Amino acid sequence: MIVTKLQGGHSNQLFQYAAARNLAMRLGVELYMDRQWFSTIAEGDTTRVYELDGYKLEQAFIASESFTLAETRRRPSKLRRLLAGAPPKPVLEHYRQQGHGFDDHVLRLADDSYLEGWWQDERYFQDIRQTLLEEIELKDAVTGEDAERLRRIRDGVSVSVHVRRGDYVTNPATRAFHGVLGADYYAASLQRLAEMTGERDLELFVFSNDIDWCKQQLRLGYRTTFVDSDNSGAEDMRLMKECRHHVIANSSFSWWGAWLSDHPGKVVIAPKNWFSNPDANAETEIVPASWLRL
């Protein structure tokens, strides 16, 4: 079996699932998701919860709430459980990601591995893209106002515009590490997008965890819908991925919204600097080569 430690927000959980799913498929073994991190978040840190339960992840199992890495290492293998009196043997090798760069050794790990990391690079799972497109799909049908938004997204030259603020603004340590994009980035990106596509009738759909700031600060010169709702992250991502083009933030959320889009000829514009922290920024290769960096 392969076990992946889930941590972080909705889209970090998707990275962790996708990398582990690829490894489990390569090996032909079961995949388990360890969710215990969510019960260990310190006071003052950004609150996070498990957010993948609405997706069609039927091939993944939830590790028991009593699961611990140490206990799992002592758990006997299936074969040894069948052999009465056979001593238990370690079954999981704990593999922890170092740094932010791509680590191709992950794809060569053996059965009975425990993955702990962020795995923010499509090379960890690009070869199972079609499987992920099918699995990272909500079980419930779109309804209400979102159904009308989805119709307009599909009918027009729609552009998903994502603005990440929240703890990027309010938490000093998070801000120093990630950085915050201003309105000038979005204006320049849309100008470039119009030049590249030759489209003048773009329709923008703005997604953000600070939609009021967007309404006040983003005057981008196109028909704009500010997606102001109580949607879950997964419900907003369902709309985002249906857009024809994408202007993303330095955020794994809009990364996945763009990556899951299957539109032929899509244009994705991403910020030149993914992190404000220079060391992390120099290491990361999170932005696919086919996307434009601005």
pLDDT tens digits along 270-285:
999 998 888 888 888 9
The contacts found for 163-169 with CB under 8 angstroms, 24 or more apart, are: 163/206, 163/207, 163/208, 163/210, 163/213, 163/214, 163/218, 163/249, 164/208, 164/209, 164/249, 164/250, 164/251, 164/253, 164/254, 165/208, 165/209, 165/210, 165/213, 166/46, 166/209, 166/210, 167/46, 169/210
Q: Does position 75 have pLDDT exceeding 60, yes or no?
A: no
Neighbouring-strand partners of residue 203: 158, 223
- Write the secondary structure of 85-125 as one string of H (helix), E (strand) and C (coil): CCCCCCCCEEEECCCCCCCHHHHHCCCCEEEECCCCCHHHC
pLDDT in the model for residue 71: 52
pLDDT in the model for residue 35: 92
Angle (deg, nearest 10), helices 252-259 and 233-240: 40
Picking from 138, 113, 91, 97, the residue whose alpha carbon sits closest to that of residue 3 is 113
Q: Does position 43 have pLDDT exceeding 90, yes or no?
A: no
Residue at 226: amino acid letter: F
- Do the beta carbons of residue 249 and residue 271 sit within 8 Å? yes
Q: In the chain, what are the domain boundaries?
A: 2-135, 144-293
pLDDT in the model for residue 180: 84
Q: Does position 89 have pLDDT exceeding 90, yes or no?
A: no
Instruction: Please give the CATH topology (third level) of the domain spanning 144-293.
Output: Rossmann fold (3.40.50)
pLDDT in the model for residue 69: 60
| Cα 32 to Cα 64, 107, 211, distances in angstroms | 9, 17, 36
Count the neighbouring beta carbons within 10 Å of the beta carbon of residue 56: 11
pLDDT in the model for residue 165: 80
Count the neighbouring beta carbons within 10 Å of the beta carbon of residue 70: 8
pLDDT in the model for residue 178: 82
- Do the beta carbons of residue 106 and residue 125 sit within 8 Å? no
Percentage of residues in the chain with pLDDT exceeding 90? 69
- What is the band of 73 on the pLDDT scale with cuts at 50, 70, 90? low
pLDDT in the model for residue 152: 96
| Cα 50 to Cα 96, 124, 187, 269, distances in angstroms | 20, 21, 34, 29
Mean pLDDT calculated for residue range 233-237: 94
pLDDT in the model for residue 47: 77
Mean pLDDT calculated for residue range 166-193: 85
- Do the beta carbons of residue 233 and residue 253 sit within 8 Å? yes
Mean pLDDT calculated for residue range 41-67: 83
190 versus 231: the higher-pLDDT residue is 190
Q: What is the Cα gyration radius of the chain? A: 21
Q: Does position 78 have pLDDT exceeding 60, yes or no?
A: no
pLDDT tens digits along 118-149:
999 999 999 999 999 999 999 999 999 999 99
- What is the band of 167 on the pLDDT scale with cuts at 50, 70, 90? confident
Tell me the two tokens of residue 31.
Answer: 């995949």
pLDDT in the model for residue 84: 46
